Amino acid sequence: MTDTWGQDRPAARPSRGPESLPHWPAPIAPLNRPGAFSSGCRKTVTRAFQSPHKAGATSKSHPKSFNATNRIFDMKRILATLSLGLISTVPAGAASLYNTLDGNAPLIIAHRGASGYLPEHTLGGYELALEMGADVIEPDLQMTADGVLVAMHDATLARTTNVEALFSPRNGDYRVSDFTLAEIKSLTVEPTGATASTDYPGFAPSMADPYKVPTFQEVMDLVAAHNAATGAQIGIYPEAKTPNSLAMNRQILQEMKSNGFDGSVPNTFVQTFSHEGARQLAALQTEAGMDNAIAALGYALDLGDGFGVYDATTGEVTALEDLAGFADGLGLYLGYDLDAAFIAAAHELGLSVHGWTFRPRTDEAAWEMFLPWIEAGMDGFFTDYPLRGVEVLQRYEAAEVPVPATLPLMLAGLGGLAALRRRRAAA
């Protein structure tokens, strides 16, 4: 996706709505979270990420201290135990905490990998995102001079690699399409933005050269190996950076199918900013016997008599009803007319909504940024900081655990028992 670092926003607002784009927070420093990561640490139900607490922090569910008598301590412990036990027995079919299209928690989509922490679109960055608990890995795809798909956001190599140092005579914008795979593999991907580096506390990449430009095949190999080793079902979310290229779209789908990403791996999408390209991808998938979700990217607009999405490649607006004819989801900029009403309208048509890009400054800012979109029913978050997204959902679920109807009666009864014990002790 194209945004803050290497961005293709429309020069002027194409239709009605707020006249200014929302404030984009500056990139933030990575969290200092020492300790080793655990593969497959994000659970399907609780989405828990077992990161160490910060020094001096206390868990929300555990009081700092007990100053009462031992008997009162025992009673509080009983109450807490029973409360947790009752909460854990809520039927699996109980109402969902989320207003998403499928009722499941929103997807944490690792935007260009863990690009807020490590160099973007590298195997090291993707691996860190997997360890942090991302649901989906997003590789942008470009084509080399010899026809190999590589993970690279920009059409040129200058912003993210050391190409100028190694190939200074070839200064024709250093386009990816002018370099062979062998030449590109000689480059090193460098950190971009204010927060990425080549090191993350407690994380050691498993590959020898984690910050080289990877091929699409290498990205799929990494995700498939992670899924096989952990039992997870992490999806991929590739984007063809050349809109409407029949040859490129066909090659992307062929490689996905050859690697088992044919619709059988959950949360796997193919995305494009071109709505005509999305239609083309849908037709090519049908032709190939594939069933991955197709995502049309753009900018949400309230048209007065309905909603639509602005296509930045053509300058035209496509109505949601038309998009639902060939797309399964929408990848939308967090601005213009994107709100709960837009998301609800998309859901009515069976379209999921994924927002880009979440880059909050701090943990608390992450909560404040994600929470309104969780409440609005957004289905997925493109974020440079997947750990922050995981932790926000963990915090949200902890705060919103449904309480059984019998719990207040049980607590009242136990409170009466506690009072009786105090009276007997006083006597």
> Which are the catalytic amino acids?
111, 153
Helices (H), 152-215: 163-166, 181-185
Expressed in angstroms, the distance from the first to the final Cα of the chain is 72
Q: Burial of 361 by CB count in 10 Å (0-12 exposed, 13-18 middle, 19+ buried)?
A: middle
Please list, residue by residue across 378-387, b when 16 or more beta carbons sit within 10 angstroms of its beta carbon and e when fewer do. bbbbbbbbbb
Cα separation values, 89 from 81, 394, 413, Å: 13, 19, 19
CA 221 to chain centre: 20
Sign of the C-alpha dihedral, residues 240, 241, 242, 248?
A: negative
Cα separation values, 180 from 122, 155, 183, 244, 352, Å: 18, 14, 5, 23, 37
Provide the token pair at 54.
């910060």
Strands 136-138 and 293-302, by their bridges, are unpaired
Contacts of 348 (CB under 8 A, 6+ apart): none
Size of the chain, expressed as the number of residues it contains: 427
